[in-house]
Structure 1
Amino acid sequence: MKRQLSRSRAISMSILQTTLFLLTLGTRMIPSSAQRNTKRGIAYLGNTHKSDNSLLLSSSSPLSWYYNWSPYPATEQIPLDSPLEFTPLVHGIDDAESSQTQHQIKSLPRSSMHILTFNEPDGDKDSGGSDIDPEDAARAYIEHIVPYHTSNSRGGRTWNISHPSVTRSPRGLDWLRQFNLSCYKIDEENGCPTDFIAAHWYGAFDGLASWLGTLDEFYNANRSDDTARLKIWITEMALPQANTHDTVNMMNQTLPYLEKLEYVEKYAWFGAFRTDDANEWTGDGVALFDDDGGLTKLGALYMGGEVNGFEEGDKGNAGTANLVKVNAGLLWVLAMFTMFVSSFW
């Protein structure tokens, strides 16, 4: 009898140890929002490759947010309940005035907390800009964007809104000056209130550091001590038309700098696509994925490198997201079965 009891206990312990191992393994597979409390995100162009998206959403991914130049999330590629916060963009005045846009933004989940506005209004529409006169932008911003900031339609919560994101040129800075002057002509007391600054940069690291310093001085130099310093979101960033060596070198300089820079709150690389989907102006050196869906050297670096378990050539699994859900369910069933079996020993 003692021998039989001892054998039963051994079997029970073996089952229990196996279950605990599988539960631990399963926990590592399930994405955790706690792991994504980072600055890093992606400017997303709607990559339709499921394997690429599964890698971007994997549990080891450092990405915490994304946007796609519209108020409509890419739900076919990135589910609304994913760990990535979706940030809507009101691209131009027509979008700001649209009741459909307003309804769409109000329908977004509470995990979305920030709104980007007026994409490169100092640029022409052929290059992706919104081409808006500063005075017209100020009027539209006060009439259509500010209400998102002041309304309590989200159960007591309001949106955090950004000023328009201009190009990184002297023309962009001049546009911002005219925009702000126009804001205070329309509303002498409040101007165009904003919660954060959106910035774009295409070029080398030293130019990026200089542009960020310029924007920080423009917005924060004259703020009173009791007014919180406005943070910057870099919503587009890349080194266009450069070879792999130069682009990787630029990213190696940039990422640690942005992580340490207190007034930079978020940033996104322009290149969450495969090399054959890159446009002519940026060149394919900015892409995070190669033509076959493997991480480029740049992509592996942006995903955190070997520290996060990413190497050049790594590919995602098209069924990873579903497998995680299935495995979580199976692990729960296995745990219940183990408790049931153990009760008989």
Structure 2
Amino acid sequence: MIKILNLLFIGCCTAIMGCSKSNVYIPTKAVSGNYTATGKKGADFSTNTKNGTWWGNTITLQSHWFYTWGTSVPFELVPQNCEFVPMFWSKANVTDANIAYVKQLKDQGRAKYVLGFNEPDLADQSNMTVQDALALWPQLETIGLPLGSPAASWPTRQWIYDFMDQAIAQKRRVDFICVHMYVGTDDVAFINVLQDLYNKYHKPIWITEFATVSDKATTMAENPFTPDMVLAFMQRLLPKLEALDFVQRYSWFSGSPTSSRLWPSSLVDANGNLTKLGKWYSEFKPNTEIKR
């Protein structure tokens, strides 16, 4: 993730890093969460988002699956008929307790996939070397679920190439590649990047974060993109993602509605109400079965 997103994740990352066996809710009875997504479209919100609630936003966006950058969520709040996907955000999260927890989710039918580390190529994100990630990878493999690669800050970063090449050489299991793509509004270039990555490794791809961003805007007024421009981009791009068999899943990143660089990409406003962009995203390939 680009550096401008730091503030959006401070609370999320603090919560994730502070997770321990004593404060993790482990479901012991049939509650929501035993569901397998039937569509590609997902949602991603921190469990302490300031813009609505993570579960409310997931429902209003009619998502088929969601993640929160962590290994756990309060399952009493998980929307019915929506699949939770746990993530091991950094090396600090690879603990015996977290491994056991996700294994329990698997055994209960509440986890079908696992996501690897978040932007290890960036010092202000999970900040891991390829060797760090590969040393921990066998522990994630023991969970026994399809396992997604670490998501670098861009699909063609040397970090992910080195990780994949060495994982293949070491016969490590990587079932799909996770990517982050913060771009302008060129849908053709977006697809070309994905196609190049697929041609290199022939692995399914999950786009776990993507949005339109302005790298140079320091105020909302300086952002050259408008919500209508982003909406037109989304309307061109998402049908193409649906048509690509190697794109298994995608999840738009809803930036803060007050972010100078990301506000036109917001799916929800400060109160969790859908923006014009969010309304279209919600109605595109909706999960009509999702409910509280």
TM-score, with structure 2 as normaliser: 0.73
1:14-50 Cα shifts (integer Å, max 9, x gaps): xxxxxxxxxxxxxxxxx9x999621100111234676
Distance 1:55 1:181 in 2: 37
AA partner of residue 59 (structure 2):
L
AA partner of residue 249 (structure 1):
A
Distance 2:129 2:67 in 1: 24
Structural RMSD (CA)? 3.0
Is 1:138 the counterpart of 2:122? The answer is no
Residue in 2 that maps onto 1:213: 195
2:177–2:206 Cα contact (<8 Å) kept: yes
Shift of the 138–293 alpha-carbon distance from structure 1 to 2, 3 Å rule, reads: closer
AA partner of residue 226 (structure 2):
N
Residue in 2 that maps onto 1:69: 69
The offset of 1:268, in angstroms, is: 0.2
Identity of aligned residues (%): 23
Shift of the 120–51 alpha-carbon distance from structure 1 to 2, 3 Å rule, reads: closer
Distance 1:177 1:113 in 2: 26
1:93–1:137 Cα contact (<8 Å) kept: yes
Q: SS where residue 210 of structure 1 aligns?
A: helix
Distance 1:99 1:36 in 2: 28
The offset of 1:114, in angstroms, is: 0.3
AA partner of residue 179 (structure 1):
F
Larger Rg, first or second structure (1 or 2): 1
TM-score, with structure 1 as normaliser: 0.62
Aligned residues: 242
Which of 99, 108, 117 pairs up with 1:102? Answer: 99
Distance 1:67 1:117 in 2: 12
Shift of the 160–35 alpha-carbon distance from structure 1 to 2, 3 Å rule, reads: closer
The offset of 1:146, in angstroms, is: 1.7
Q: SS where residue 164 of structure 2 aligns?
A: helix
Residue in 2 that maps onto 1:291: 270
Residue in 1 that maps onto 2:45: 44
The offset of 1:184, in angstroms, is: 5.1
The offset of 1:292, in angstroms, is: 4.4
Residue in 2 that maps onto 1:90: 88
Shift of the 145–75 alpha-carbon distance from structure 1 to 2, 3 Å rule, reads: same
Shift of the 243–208 alpha-carbon distance from structure 1 to 2, 3 Å rule, reads: same
Residues 185-334 of structure 1 aligned to structure 2 (within 5 Å)? 187=170, 191-203=171-183, 204=185, 205-220=187-202, 230-241=203-214, 242-271=225-254, 275-276=257-258, 279-280=259-260, 282-304=261-283, 321=292
Residue in 1 that maps onto 2:150: 164
1:57–1:83 Cα contact (<8 Å) kept: no
Q: Which consecutive unaligned segments of at least 5 residues does structure 1 have? A: 1-30, 150-158, 221-229, 311-319, 322-345
Answer 1 or 2: which has greater helix percent.
Answer: 1
Q: SS where residue 235 of structure 2 aligns?
A: helix
Distance 1:262 1:117 in 2: 22
Residue in 1 that maps onto 2:218: none
The offset of 1:211, in angstroms, is: 1.7
Distance 1:35 1:121 in 2: 28
Distance 1:67 1:52 in 2: 9
Distance 1:240 1:184 in 2: 33
The offset of 1:207, in angstroms, is: 3.0
The offset of 1:253, in angstroms, is: 1.0
Q: SS where residue 233 of structure 1 aligns?
A: strand
Which of 57, 60, 68 pairs up with 2:59? Answer: 57
Distance 2:74 2:243 in 1: 30
Residues 143-154 of structure 1 aligned to structure 2 (within 5 Å)? 144-149=139-144
Residue in 2 that maps onto 1:340: none
The offset of 1:177, in angstroms, is: 2.6
1:123–1:131 Cα contact (<8 Å) kept: yes
Q: Which consecutive unaligned segments of at least 5 residues does structure 2 have? A: 1-31, 215-224
1:301-327 Cα shifts (integer Å, max 9, x gaps): 10016x97x9xxxxxxxxx84xxxxxx
Q: SS where residue 247 of structure 1 aligns?
A: helix
